[in-house]
Amino acid sequence: MNGHCPECGAPLEGKTECREYLNEMIKWDFEDFTGVGKIHHLTVLSYNLQHPNLYSSKGLQNAIESLTEYMQNPMDYTAHGTRDREKLASDIRDWKITGTAEDHGAYATKPEWKMLASDVVAGGLVHYVENVKKWSQSVLEVLQE
């Protein structure tokens, strides 16, 4: 199927939905969890920020804060992932992360993304880690504009 992702605009060549790009990256993460998998949390965050409907409005806000903190201290992705998991553990959180029909994240104006999940997948596993870093950096830059 051709066409583009209605949310982020990624070309869907040979795919039915954008989520398949994320699934490919997640597969890489889990095949090499102590290697490229260290970047997993950042991959999911970048993907979700380009698909804000996945979040509740508060979840989206939280994700933006989380990515901003990452970029200020990019040395330890694993620690960030752990901290976010603890912070977001459902027993201490009284709001939903996941978007619903009534409450989902959205941007005031549709962002013009410079890099997409499809670009990262196209770069292949060899460039995966550096591309995810570039991707997340570009997501943050666009959101801060």
- Minimum gap (Å) between residue 9 Cβ and Zn ion: 7
For residues 12-71, which are near Zn ion according to CB under 5 A? 18
- Minimum gap (Å) between residue 86 Cβ and Zn ion: 29
- Minimum gap (Å) between residue 8 Cβ and Zn ion: 3
Q: Is the dihedral of CA 31, 32, 38, 43 positive or negative?
A: negative
Quick one: which of 8, 39, 49, 64 contacts Zn ion (CB under 5 A)? 8
Q: Which is nearer to Zn ion, 19 or 133 (CB)?
A: 19
115 near Zn ion (CB under 5 A): no
- Minimum gap (Å) between residue 117 Cβ and Zn ion: 6
Stretch that binds Zn ion, among 5-13, 24-32, 75-83, 102-110 (CB under 5 A): 5-13
Long-range CB pairs of 50-53, under 8 A, 24+ apart, other chains included: 50/7, 50/8, 50/111, 50/113, 50/116, 50/117, 50/139, 51/7, 51/8, 51/18, 52/7, 52/99, 52/104, 52/105, 52/106, 52/107, 53/7, 53/99, 53/104, 53/105, 53/106
Q: Which is nearer to Zn ion, 7 or 24 (CB)?
A: 7
Q: Which is nearer to Zn ion, 80 or 120 (CB)?
A: 120
